[in-house]
Structure 1
Amino acid sequence: MTPTFNPFETEFCSIFDNAKDLHSYIAAYGGYISNMTQSICQEYSSVNKCLDSHDPKSPMYSDLKSPSRPWLWQVCTEYAYWQTGAPIWIPGTIVSRKLDTNWYQRQCPLLFGEHNVPTRPQWRYINKEYKGWHISLNRTFWIDGEYDPWRTLSVQSDWAPKRGRHHYFSGQQEDAHYVVLPQSVHHWV
């Protein structure tokens, strides 16, 4: 993807162009999800067969050539970057609260059971080792998209400590650059 093509605008934001009220916004979003599901599941006999997370024989677990497998390995073993619904104390969520960490985590043994994945990702170890938001690196260029949902977890999160060139973390001065690209999304950066 390049800055000349922003799929966030063309493939998602544009679905709301003709929406005028809450009901038409919901209908537009529902249509988007329906079309995306049909596209993803077109080679399966049914949507249930395609998306069934309870069937250990599901192709979602057995497809060793899936391009998402390396990422899922990291999420299952280290990061715990599950795309869950908003916590109960935050009103409204576009993702169902049924998609919680337990729902995702129970899939890891089905994906990688033969490799003895941990019961829970080792994110505490990773944060301790690399100091989480307080990581201090030199000769590093941090780039995030303004609308990238993963930015919330990055060193440029709105909740992370404010930083910039030559800030001190853990008693060390770091020489890093920080950029948030306006109106950019995941993979567009």
Structure 2
Amino acid sequence: MDDEALADFLGTAMSEYRLITPEAPLPCFALLMGSAEATTYQVRRIAFGHNARTSDPAARQEFRETIVPKFGPAYENEHRGWWMDSHDLLRASREADALGMDLLGSIHMHPDWHRLGPPSERGHTLSERPTPMDRHLFGRTRWPLNIICYLERRGSAFYHALAAWAPPPRHAAEGAECPEFALRIRTRSLVEA
């Protein structure tokens, strides 16, 4: 992943994090654009979009009929979960095509909700590892690359941890583990030989 793409995501994620309240676990989500090579995905850019979770009829139905019954009433909270607006998804796809890139997958933030959320959520520690909901969505979208950014604030400093995941194997049981990818961040500084 190019460091500039990561910096774009982290800047937005930190801004969203600052707005989180115990009632509103604000998400931060973006699409990954880049190229797929023989054994490597190269993320060069990210594309943000709007969360259509409460405005798109298909999203409302998916959360009402599948997500909430499967993953619990916490997902009734309209700030929990993400559904990329279809217009933004199309815009990102066209932008990637124009740049000679592919849409590779997604990146999203897991805040330290176990510290910020309501007391009922304090026992559910988030990290850069996929939650059952993440595994479900990775399996549904089938995007080859999914990055989770765990973000926490301690005092006045932010800390983050990243991990990259493939979707669970196609014919695996619901809730199957996602294979982890090695994640490397490419810096722009040159190394002298």
The structure carrying a bigger helix percent of its residues is 1
> Normalising by structure 2, what TM-score?
0.24
Q: Compare CA radii of gyration and give the structure with the larger one.
A: 1
User: Which has the bigger relative contact order, CA under 8 A and spacing at least 6?
Assistant: 2
The structure carrying a bigger strand percent of its residues is 2
